[in-house]
Amino acid sequence: MTAGPYGATGYPPTAAPQVYEPHRLGGGSHLPLVAPHLAPGERVHAVVDIELSDLLRRVPRRYRKERDGLFQAVGFLLDLAGALVDAVEEAIGGFFRNLRRIFRGRGLSGGWDSQAGRFAVQVLTGGRGDRTYENRGVMLVFTDHRILLGSALSDGYHPYGEVPRQQLARIEPRMGSWSSRVEAHFADGSRVALEARDRHDAQALDLLVRGQVPPPKPAG
């Protein structure tokens, strides 16, 4: 039998939320979607929907998922064309990104091989059938020992990957009138910029990293 969020055997779709989580269109909880991906006895502490900052550029080619089928057969030509497109996009996008960094700071500190970088790669290369390598939305499922990364659709929760809870060391909300930025600091000293949906999500992330469980998200 599938383990539920609190060691039970699942929740009906209309069950009232028992953890902090985003509100679903039409009501109900995300917990039944997450339950099949939990280990026996694993407990969900919160579900937080966030985005990577647009200050992060497209993930470098060496970190992208391998193609399969026909795409693999013509991979060399696609990679060559893709490299040219990437170079043009980086030349143009990089200029404006650098201007934004003057006022908003860096999107990633520590490099792509750092803990923050590997987190970002899992998100950017996530998404069903995604080959743009610019996926930014991610639903974080905080359990008692790990953080699942994925997206929730009507047919279920689709994981991108996971990180151990202890890797996420500190959350630094930097939200204001013109910013929804939250900086996630990792145990190795690296950090990545996130965009919170609202102040409740930023506060929930901060509490979770401090070892506390946030109350259910307020309505509205």
90: domain range? Answer: 67-105
Specify the CATH number for the domain of residue 132.
2.30.29.30
pLDDT at 35: 94
- 72-82: burial string, b at 16+ Cβ within 10 Å, e else: eeeeeeeeeee
pLDDT at 206: 95
Domain count, the chain: 2
Distance CA 149, CA 140 (A): 5
**Whether residue 123 is found in the same domain as residue 185:** yes
Under 8 Å between Cβ of 55 and 106: yes
Query: For residues 106 and 188, which has the higher predicted lDDT (pLDDT)?
Result: 188
- Residue 117 lies inside a defined structural domain of this protein: yes
Neighbouring C-beta atoms of residue 167, cutoff 10 Å: 17
**Whether residue 134 is found in the same domain as residue 196:** yes
Query: For residues 80 and 195, which has the higher predicted lDDT (pLDDT)?
Result: 195
- Residue 41 lies inside a defined structural domain of this protein: yes
130 token code pair: 């995604």
**Whether residue 136 is found in the same domain as residue 193:** yes
44 token code pair: 């969900």
Q: What is the pLDDT of residues 124-175, one digit of tens each?
A: 988 765 556 788 899 999 999 899 999 988 788 999 999 999 999 999 988 7
87 token code pair: 């170079």
**Whether residue 35 is found in the same domain as residue 139:** yes
pLDDT at 148: 97
Which residues share a beta bridge with 44? 143
**Whether residue 93 is found in the same domain as residue 193:** no
- Residue 125 lies inside a defined structural domain of this protein: yes
